[in-house]
């Protein structure tokens, strides 16, 4: 099967109108803004971490764009949609964690899961170690 570059460019317009692609871009932008807000609240703004995060987001967008374009040309759109939903899920989790940390009111059903993630104790069987994780990104080992 030959793929013409003109087919790829034609699919680019269709991709920009894709609902899932638009949701992914919106979630990435919201994650960036809430991540910066979280860093400000924590008083941990760091340009190195910020640039690394932005490069990661750009990499995700580039990968999703390339995969989506070629999947559309090859007629396997479902594969690109599955990858897009995967990324949306992870960005959604990150977004809710950031919103929870910033103090945005969330439904109790969401909040209880995030509190569990931040306030859990891990006990290793047959060991004298208990790891306690705190929301302040510190860990106590007893």
pLDDT digits (tens, 9 = 90+) for 35-53: 999 999 888 888 888 899 9
**pLDDT tier for residue 131 given thresholds of 50, 70 and 90:** low
Q: Note the pLDDT of residue 23.
A: 95
Find out whether 35 and 54 touch, Cβ atoms under 8 Å. no
Residues 55-114 have pLDDT tens digits of: 999 999 999 999 988 888 888 889 999 999 999 999 999 998 898 888 888 887 777 776
- Is the pLDDT at 120 greater than 70? The verdict is no
What is the pLDDT, as a whole number, of residue 118? 58
Q: What is the DSSP letter of 90?
A: H
CA distance 136 to 119: 10
| Strand pairing class (130-133; 139-141) | antiparallel
Strand, helix or coil for residue 2: coil
Give 22-86 as a DSSP string: HHHHHHHHHHHHHHHHHHHHHT---HHHHHHHHHHHHHHHHHHHHHHHHHHHHT-HHHHHHHHHH
Q: What pLDDT is stored for residue 115 in this prediction?
A: 59
């Amino acid at each position: 099967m030959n793929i013409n570059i003109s087919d790829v460019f034609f699919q680019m317009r269709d991709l920009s109108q894709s609902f899932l692609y638009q949701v992914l871009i919106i979630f990435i932008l919201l994650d960036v803004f809430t991540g910066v807000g979280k860093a400000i609240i924590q008083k941990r703004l760091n340009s190195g971490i910020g640039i690394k995060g932005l490069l990661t987001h750009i990499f995700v967008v580039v990968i999703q764009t390339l995969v989506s374009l070629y999947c559309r040309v090859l007629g396997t759109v479902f594969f690109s949609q599955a990858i897009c939903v995967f990324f949306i899920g992870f960005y959604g989790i990150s977004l809710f964690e950031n919103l929870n940390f910033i103090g945005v009111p969330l439904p109790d059903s969401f909040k209880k899961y995030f509190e569990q993630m931040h306030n859990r104790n891990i006990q290793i069987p047959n060991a004298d170690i208990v790891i306690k994780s705190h929301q302040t990104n510190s860990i106590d080992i007893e």
